């Protein structure tokens, strides 16, 4: 039997990571989130902070300029190399075991190769703002600004490497509003769908 994978894409502050962890715990399968970063670090030699940042987010400013800068003689940037390694780690995981994978375009990477349930978690801005302040504390920037910046960079990264629109309903088997439904109900639905 093929391994069964749940991929979770999520708006910043929507609780998608928590939903992923709790779903995996209920199903008794591993959840790869930070653990993915450790694996990619092992494979590539990149620092974990660099991977966390550049393996899921477009650069904060002049993303397009960056995308075409610092390329090797084959025209590949560090970020392209990271994309390829990340892709390989995700494919290997899906080959090895059933699991939950949070973020990092896993839905796209596994679309043809695994028995995959692709999930998108979202919530309205006010609920997400409240959540990030609770989770990550206050910052100089207002929470609304932090949300907008993070989501914009995630969407740009996703679009650049997949050529699909991040958060477009047709790319996910299930999309849930965690702000209205609550974390627990989302976990229950995903568990029942597995």
Q: Which residues bind a copy of itself (CB under 8 A)?
A: 120, 122, 124, 167-170, 172-177, 180-181, 185, 188-189, 192-193
Choice between 44 and 171, CB closer to a copy of itself: 171
85 or 119: CB nearest a copy of itself: 119
92: Cβ contacts below 8 Å, ≥ 6 apart: none
Least Cβ distance, residue 148 to a copy of itself (angstroms): 14
Q: What are φ and ψ of residue 91, in 5° steps?
A: -65, -40
Residue with tokens 């928590």: 18
Q: State how far the alpha carbon of 190 is from the alpha carbons of 73, 92, 101, 184, in Å.
A: 45, 23, 13, 10
In angstroms, what is the minimal distance from the CB of 177 to a copy of itself?
A: 4
Distance CA 137, CA 16 (A): 18
């Amino acid at each position: 039997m093929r391994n069964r994978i749940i991929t979770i894409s999520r708006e910043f502050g929507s609780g998608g990571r928590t939903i992923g962890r709790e779903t995996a715990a209920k199903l008794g399968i591993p959840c790869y989130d930070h653990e993915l970063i450790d694996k990619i670090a092992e494979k590539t030699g990149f620092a974990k902070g660099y991977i966390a940042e550049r393996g899921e987010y477009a650069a904060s400013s002049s993303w397009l300029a960056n995308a075409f800068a610092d390329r090797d003689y084959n025209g590949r940037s560090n970020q392209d190399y990271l994309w390829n390694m990340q892709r390989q780690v995700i494919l290997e995981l899906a080959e090895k075991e059933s699991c939950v994978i949070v973020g990092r375009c896993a839905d796209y990477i596994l679309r043809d190769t695994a028995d995959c349930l692709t999930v998108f978690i979202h919530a309205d801005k006010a609920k997400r703002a409240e959540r990030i302040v609770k989770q990550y504390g206050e910052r100089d920037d207002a929470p609304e600004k932090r949300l907008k910046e993070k989501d914009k960079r995630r969407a740009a990264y996703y679009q650049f490497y997949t050529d699909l629109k991040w958060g477009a309903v047709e790319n996910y088997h299930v999309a849930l509003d965690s702000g209205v439904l609550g974390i627990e109900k989302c976990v229950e639905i995903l568990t029942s769908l597995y």
